[in-house]
Amino acid sequence: MRDAISILGAGDMARGIGTRLITTGTDITFYDRNLDKAKSLQQELQRGTTSNVRIESKRLGESLKGKIVILALPYEIARNLARQYTEQLKNKILVDITNPIDFKNFTLLTPRGSSAAEEIAKIVSRSTKVVKSFNTTFAGTLVEGNVAGKQIDVFIAGDDQGAKGVISRLVQDSGMRPLDVGPLENSRALEGMQLIHMALQDKLGTNWMSGIKILP
């Protein structure tokens, strides 16, 4: 029996990650400020699966389910929610997937020498294990389950080896390749890499369906 997962947000990344994770038989609850939006994603994924998973929907602010919580919202909102849910997040794994980008000038919103994941870790309790992951995987590729026919690489940074192991197993069991890239501090590099990846979309014409992959 797997730990249930709460996904805060019901947008593109919630759909992408949800699509992959339900293939592992993991129960998922989607949270959105608009309950109808969470319900609609719940129903969409329920229709698309033959597996016996329980998919639920709740309004943001309602109590969290399971030991793993994924922040699938814009960076500033994710920070606000980390603050709002601090008590409930104690002893859970908190997965930060955000790219803290100022779209006006394509720069990072985080202070120099930090990252979204580290800023979020400063807000929550020390018992909350913050893991950076999925920030380099575009939502459409997660729905597809591959990038141009190749297995998706999912980079994972964090200071708690056990928490990284849990997320790595989920990634592996949903058909992707987990790559542990070291401590949470390395989120700076992951967020920087993805800034470049996003900035290149127009130039390459890849239409947000490319991926960052380590090839032999």
Q: Of 6, 19, 14, nearest to 66 (Cα)?
A: 6
List the one residue from 28, 69, 93, 97 that touches ligand NAP (CB under 6 A). 97
List the one residue from 45, 75, 94, 155 that touches ligand NAP (CB under 6 A). 75
Query: Backbone phi, then psi, for 45, in 5-degree steps?
Result: -70, -35
Q: Is residue 135 part of the contact set for ligand NAP (CB under 6 A)?
A: yes
List the one residue from 32, 118, 153, 191 that touches ligand NAP (CB under 6 A). 32
DSSP states along 116-184:
HHHHHHHHS-TTSEEEEESTTB-HHHHHHTSBTTBPPEEEEEES-HHHHHHHHHHHHHTT-EEEE--SG
Q: Is residue 166 part of the contact set for ligand NAP (CB under 6 A)?
A: no
Q: Is residue 13 part of the contact set for ligand NAP (CB under 6 A)?
A: yes
Supply the minimum distance, in Å, between the C-beta of residue 52 and ligand NAP. 26
- What is the number of helices (H) and of strands (E) in the chain? 8, 10
Q: Is residue 72 part of the contact set for ligand NAP (CB under 6 A)?
A: yes
Q: Is residue 77 part of the contact set for ligand NAP (CB under 6 A)?
A: yes
Q: Is residue 139 part of the contact set for ligand NAP (CB under 6 A)?
A: yes
Residue type, 38: A
Supply the minimum distance, in Å, between the C-beta of residue 33 and ligand NAP. 4
Q: Is the dihedral of CA 187, 190, 192, 194 positive or negative?
A: negative
CA atoms within 13 A on the CB side of 128: 24
List the one residue from 10, 28, 108, 184 that touches ligand NAP (CB under 6 A). 10
List the one residue from 23, 35, 37, 177 that touches ligand NAP (CB under 6 A). 37
Supply the minimum distance, in Å, between the C-beta of residue 138 and ligand NAP. 4
Query: Backbone phi, then psi, for 38, in 5-degree steps?
Result: -65, -40
Identify which of residues 126 and 203 has a Cβ nearer to ligand NAP in the complex.
203
Q: How far apart are CA 90 and CA 127, in angstroms?
A: 5
Residues 6+ apart with CB under 8 A from 161: none
Contact footprint for ligand NAP (CB under 6 A): 9-14, 32-34, 37, 60, 72-75, 77, 97-99, 135, 137-139, 208
